[in-house]
Amino acid sequence: MNVLPALLLSLAATGPTAFDSPPPQVASADTFLDATARDLVLRAAARRDEAAEGLASYETTMTERMRVGVQFGLRLTNRSRTFYHKERVARTRWTRGEDVLVKWLGRREGSPAFRDLPFGLDLDLAEVLDLDNTFRQVPFDPSGDRIDFFNAGWILPVSPAGLGIYRFRSGDTLRIGLPPPNRSLALVEVVVEPRVRRWETLEGSLWFDAETGDLTRAVFRPSGVWNHQEHAPGPTRDLPPSLVMPGIGTVEVVTLEYALLEGRWWLPRRLAAKGIYDWGHGLARMPLEIEWTMRDFVLNEVPTQELDNALDLSTARSISSIRRNAQSPRTIYVTPRGVDLTRAPELPPPLGEEPLDFTAEGSRLLVESFSQIVGQQPLGPSPSFRRTILSGLRYERVRGLSAGGERSWLLNDREVRFTLTARLGLAEHLVPSGQVQIAQGVWGMAAYRELADAGGLVDPLGLVTSLNALLLGHDEGEYYWRTGGRVEATWGDPARKSLTLSAFGERQEPAHVHARFSLGGDLRPNIAAQRLDAFGVAWDARLQRGDDPRGGVITGRVWGEGAGGSTPYWRSLATVSVVGGIGGIASMALSGTLGLASPDAPVQRWFFLGGTHSLRGFEGGSFRGTGAWFARAEVGTLGEGIRGVLFADVGWAGAREELSDHRPGVSAGLGLSLVDGLLRFDLARGVVRGKDWRVHFYLDGLF
């Protein structure tokens, strides 16, 4: 499947685009917004070929770290799993006009979420993701007009092709003192703005040596998203388009740092990037992180003995090569024979164990400047982008069977994204709902009439919620209608650490049941929500440490809200989960949650326990009140592909003042976990204060 790499961080943008072969351009009157930018960019453009003169060859040791994660939906834990990771080290040589040589020194890859797949399945993720040739565009060609990291073909702003595509303005100045006999450096920032916001064009800032015009540092992102339907049209192999479309890949930030070698040549020493791919409008999110570092440069010298030996076929186990086009040199990959590359001491730790650090002193100022420049601008698709999504049929007891769709536009070609969502319930009488959203950078606002879950643990529109309601008779939500609007801002990385703050004003109303039918038995009644007007603030903070369940994963979330209005209230809930191994023979998971609300909070702001995400084996809403706690413990077999699980849940909810004086409910059962808990099937029975057997099917289990 060649879909994921281009979509995740667009390692290979397949299919023709309008910018495949841009002709040389001439700067127009509005290319430069000030004289400083004009002088520096034109000198830098003239310097490009001159800067490469005299550099006939160089060698370097290059290290690559990559991580592809996977997240499904919105859940209490919402743990990010490592779908695939790779660490590689190579000694590389670039020679002007000759073949490029890459000799592997170490290679390691893994997929913690896909270990020990069941039924004899053998999934080669490197092949599935087409991630094997991410070295194909290195070593770096000093005279190229593209930034070909990830094989994305981003057009270099300071190039003959870029002068007609971008606008430039000067920014800050940074002075760096170098040890004698080197000179002190004055680095001048040039802010780059594309004329057309597309995947192929960049925005951000470039930092040049004011004296020579050489590029020294850069922080940027493509000004548009990678849209599968635009950049790789056609069916997706093995996957129905209705499931995975739209396919939107977003690069959040790229930092590129150069080293000054022999006081003359600036060559890249570190590249780090973060991005995310969204499947099916939130069905799955796949974050990608990648880091390349270059060290131990040798310039304009004969090949070292190490690389001379690599060219001797008798010492190599395999040699492969690629060629970008008929005119370009080949890149030759050499794998030594008789060497266990997975245990090479040169290999770095995986990104899951030592994440990317964009706040290091060398890049902190760059990222801060970048955030000020583009932080308020949305990453948008091309101007022609429109999308309509039929969100399918859903079933719950308030609206019964419902159908809906979504329509998105990009307004003003760059400023805001506008989304309209509508859903119509079909049971007994029409029950309309919908939402209008506008997003710009980290900020967003929405006007809505929607069905909400009082406990906050159930997604009313989730596919799994619908299947459980229709097939098993388990609709665990406690629903109410809310109509109003909100303004919110989100900072951070959803896969690692994030904070969302919002202000809202809404009317909350009862949601009457219009459907009771289920193949698993009649659906239960809903709560009698209080009618009220509320104006307040809400918060949601998430944190995760670690990715490999055998090495230990810790997740935490604190969320809540406070509101005034006709019935003032507040409530907050915190949860912590730990996943790890037990002596290399088994796996375990623990989770604890505590929730508190004001004593006079309306019933739709209480906590409700019972069901898949709190007390398995109990009916939804079996325990309810202004105070709640529950804990879960699981022990499973070793192996993430398929795992047998023993579990127990304990919890209680009721009046907050009785939180420490009560008899909790207890349940226990057996479970089957697939792909590190991405899919879970549990059979549970109430042991204390319950006696029913219940089947639970859900996504994103503890493990």
Instruction: Kindly tell me the sign of the dihedral angle through the C-alpha atoms of 349, 353, 355, 361.
Output: negative
Q: What is the pLDDT of residue 388?
A: 42
Question: What tokens does 151 get?
Answer: 């094989």
Q: Tell me the Cα Rg of the chain.
A: 28
For the chain, the helix, strand and coil percentages under 3-state DSSP, each to the nearest 5: 10, 50, 40
Does the pLDDT at position 53 exceed 70?
Answer: no
Give the pLDDT mean for 351-372: 57
Give the pLDDT mean for 425-431: 69
Q: What is the pLDDT of residue 601?
A: 94
- The band of 382, judged by pLDDT with boundaries at 50, 70 and 90, is very low
Per-residue pLDDT of 555-565, as tens digits, reads 999 999 999 99
Give the pLDDT mean for 425-448: 79
Does the pLDDT at position 37 exceed 90?
Answer: no
Q: What is the pLDDT of residue 4?
A: 28
Q: Which of 559, 527, 522, 530 is nearest to 543 (CA)?
A: 559
Residue type at position 563? A
Question: What tokens does 149 get?
Answer: 């990291």
Size of the chain in residues: 703
Does the pLDDT at position 231 exceed 80?
Answer: no
pTM of the model: 0.71
Does the pLDDT at position 12 exceed 50?
Answer: no
Measured distance CA(4)–CA(236) in Å, rounded: 10
| Alpha carbon separation from 150 to 63, 278, 617 (Å, rounded) | 15, 18, 48
Question: Contact, 236 vs 226, CB < 8 A?
Answer: no
Exposed / middle / buried, residue 472 (Cβ in 10 Å: 0-12, 13-18, 19+) = middle
Q: Which of 527, 578, 531 is nearest to 551 (CA)?
A: 578
Q: What is the pLDDT of residue 10?
A: 29
Helical residues (DSSP H) of 449-531, grouped into ranges: 463-467
- SS3 letters across 274-303: EEEEEECCCCEEEEEEEEEEEEEEEECCCC
Rounded to the nearest integer, the mean pLDDT of the chain is 76
Does the pLDDT at position 493 exceed 90?
Answer: no
- SS3 letters across 387-446: EEEEEEEEEECCCEEEEEEEEEEEECCCCEEEEEEEEEECCCCCEEEEEEEEEECCEEEE
Contacts of 135 (CB under 8 A, 6+ apart): 62, 64, 88, 90, 92, 102, 331, 333
Q: What is the pLDDT of residue 198?
A: 79
Map residue 45 onto helix, strand or coil. helix
Measured distance CA(482)–CA(563) in Å, rounded: 14
Question: Contact, 587 vs 637, CB < 8 A?
Answer: yes
Q: Which of 235, 11, 15 is nearest to 126 (CA)?
A: 11
Per-residue pLDDT of 512-523, as tens digits, reads 888 888 888 888
Measured distance CA(559)–CA(670) in Å, rounded: 30
Q: What is the pLDDT of residue 151?
A: 54
Does the pLDDT at position 7 exceed 70?
Answer: no
Per-residue pLDDT of 620-659, as tens digits, reads 889 999 999 999 999 998 877 788 999 999 999 999 888 7
Per-residue pLDDT of 58-93, as tens digits, reads 888 888 888 888 776 544 456 778 878 888 888 888
Does the pLDDT at position 127 exceed 70?
Answer: no
Measured distance CA(311)–CA(387) in Å, rounded: 51
